Structure 1
């Protein structure tokens, strides 16, 4: 490869790097947790990977990773599912940011949210963790809380049911009919953030139907 070809290749690689996003779906590993409310972030990660025609593979960091472009010449998505449990999500996220040389403002965390009604998607940047152990650990490990979050509403537990028990249960029979649309909406929200920016995405997903 000649000097001119090497320079062109380097410019192409730099352009891809500048338009790369790390999207992390939070959850717990193992089949016993796969359909839990707490794992809806990883359900969204699966949906995004499916749209890209990408497959999750083992990675040098403690995560499974799928990579692909949103469309030809468009943004690159690095979609990850940490191998550890929810409350240890920070280490894998920090390792991924370092591996891909990405700043925190290129990080999108997708997670379940008790304080949002079921079947609702809300987007924000920064803010407190609201008691969510995964978000708390990511904030601690990255020494930053201003990453973008796609918050997938699962609602509050009925009656006096403990929140910790509620999130580790599968969606109810009634809810399951709406889960595919909820996951699809959250995946749409990730794509909108990447393509159009957070503010434009918020205007779309926070507006009354």
Structure 2
């Protein structure tokens, strides 16, 4: 079994925030592959949905705590189902990548991301992160308001093809073909007019 965790904040007011792109991704995976309905599990401090992708049982998790306490839910599910950190992939927003940037990383620092920081505190740093670039404002003081702001119509030009490609090719991630998975998403973004680093290509 694999565990895919989407990071975000619970509540309708946060649903379309940049900080909630992890929730958006796992919701899209659940819809595409006809997973069982999301269910709240107080024991795990999160919502779970289960299904099968390419013959592999998959569990999706959206922590019901706020972002900075996401590690409690992740640790609870890993422990209860006796899963390893190698079974875990975390989808999250990344301000150090431009809008439309996309990277898969096996481990590393948390770069100030509160959700990753909470998970690392609970289980250690060795787990897969799927980093979805949302860009950042010029001034550091504006970061919180920026990530807690909603995606704009312009953002949808890269977000929609990214979601489609992630869900279509997620089987590669399940088979540990991280580079191939990342490249498939890059190709989809390039087709939508975004360069490999996520920035919009100039018109030709």
* TM-score after normalising by structure 1: 0.82
Q: Does 1:57 align with 2:57?
A: no
Give the equivalent residue in structure 2 for 1:70.
53
Question: Secondary structure of 1:152's match?
Answer: strand
Give 1:146 deviation, angstroms.
1.2
Larger Rg: 1
Measure, in 2, the Cα distance between the counterparts of 1:176 and 1:44.
13
Q: Distance in 2 between matches of 1:188 and 1:153?
A: 19
Q: 2:143 aligns with which of 156, 163, 170?
A: 163
Structure 1 residue 24 and structure 2 residue 11: aligned? no
Q: CA RMSD in A?
A: 2.0
Q: Is the counterpart of residue 181 in structure 1 residue 198 in structure 2?
A: no
Equivalent residues, number: 187
In the TM superposition, 1:1-209 aligns within 5 A as 20-54=1-35, 55-59=37-41, 60-71=43-54, 74-142=55-123, 144-158=124-138, 162-188=142-168, 190-205=170-185, 209=190
Helix, strand or coil at the partner of 1:32:
helix
Deviates more, 1:133-142 or 1:173-182: 173-182
TM-score, normalised to structure 2's length? 0.84
Cα displacement string for residues 66-99 of structure 1 (whole angstroms, at most 9, x for unaligned residues): 100003xx11110010001000000000001012
